[in-house]
Structure 1
Amino acid sequence: MATFTIAARVEIELDIRKSRFIGIVMPVADREAALREVERMREEHRGATHVCWALMAGGQSGMSDDGEPSGTAGRPMLEVLRHHDLDGVLAMVVRYYGGIKLGAGGLVRAYTDAIASALKNAERTERVAQAEIEIGVVYSAEPQLRHWLAQHKYQLLDSRHDTLAHLRLRLPAAELDQAEAAIRRVASNASIKRII
């Protein structure tokens, strides 16, 4: 079954009984990246009453009600992401309290609506599993290898040089075996280490 992510960050705003709800959905690589974004929103919205979040990211999924009554924010947001078959997506809602209590049911509706509204404006894309490898080659083979990488549009993440030239790249996991065979044709003495 295909899983999906979203192409870019989307932000919307809802006013519900004088409370301001800012709903944000965005693609993220992992839980660490998601928590950095949550902290960034807390810094940006210091006057907010709550910054609740939900993350769908395989085994790294999680959620937080950030002081709202238990189960009224994080879980409903996570359910919206799950309902849309999303993965690698962070949902956040920044709430500025307006003085009127919404009750548990009203909070669940508000947090659900904020994320559902943001997702209406988000472009869904199929999520392609990625892999990372590190290639070690003699210096004389590096130009041919870089040319091959450019032709295939694989993402070069890092390079370092010691006794060998080391290139770290990201590519679709489904192309890994085929890419390794091609790399060995380009640089017969290449060492290839799968990172993830």
Structure 2
Amino acid sequence: MSDTPKAAPLLDIGAVQHIRKLVMFALGAASFSVLLFSHSLWPDANEDGLHEIIETIGFGLLLVAIIGRTWSSLYIGGRKKSEVVALGPYSICRNPLYVFSFIGAAGAGAQFGNVTAALAATLLTVLVFSIVVRKEERFLSEKFGEPYLAYKARVPRFIPNFRLWQNVSTLEINTHLVVRTFLDACVFLAAIPLAEGVEMAQAQGWLPVLWLVP
């Protein structure tokens, strides 16, 4: 019987992502339950008012998030567990998919016409993904060793450094994963009818407004 110690198994990155999605869903549901009884400090009757401006900016952020996550998936789709991806958006930031999720969260919160919801949604998303990223970094460090550690030391985690940009003229794309990422990102758009539905219910008196937020 061999006394050679067995290597610790690599972290199950798929399980981490599954838990992350469950946590995000739970936090989203909890946040939405709070937003049911809050309303923007600024009235929404005036189309040129601050309420509508915040919603419009938020819609732009939603589009940026969807396009950005789809663009990032062109580079990472199907490669995350097999190689260190360091091209395109991954040459300037180690987690561009997550950065665009932060932007999407801000856009989703902004659909309620106030900055508070946008900031709260962003901070909650950053908190959850920061925990996930640490676990992913452990997995990637164990799997790829020095190449990943060098990449980690060179490229920032979230804040892009555009001076590091690198790209290639041709890229092999996993269309199935790209389409799936695009469809997943489109879930952010659900914030629009949800916010409009809450505002309509509040206007009709079906939902009480317990507090106003800026």
What TM-score do you get using the length of structure 2 for normalisation? 0.23
Higher strand fraction (1 or 2): 1
Structure (1 or 2) with the larger CA radius of gyration: 1
**Larger RCO (CA under 8 A, 6+ residues apart):** 2
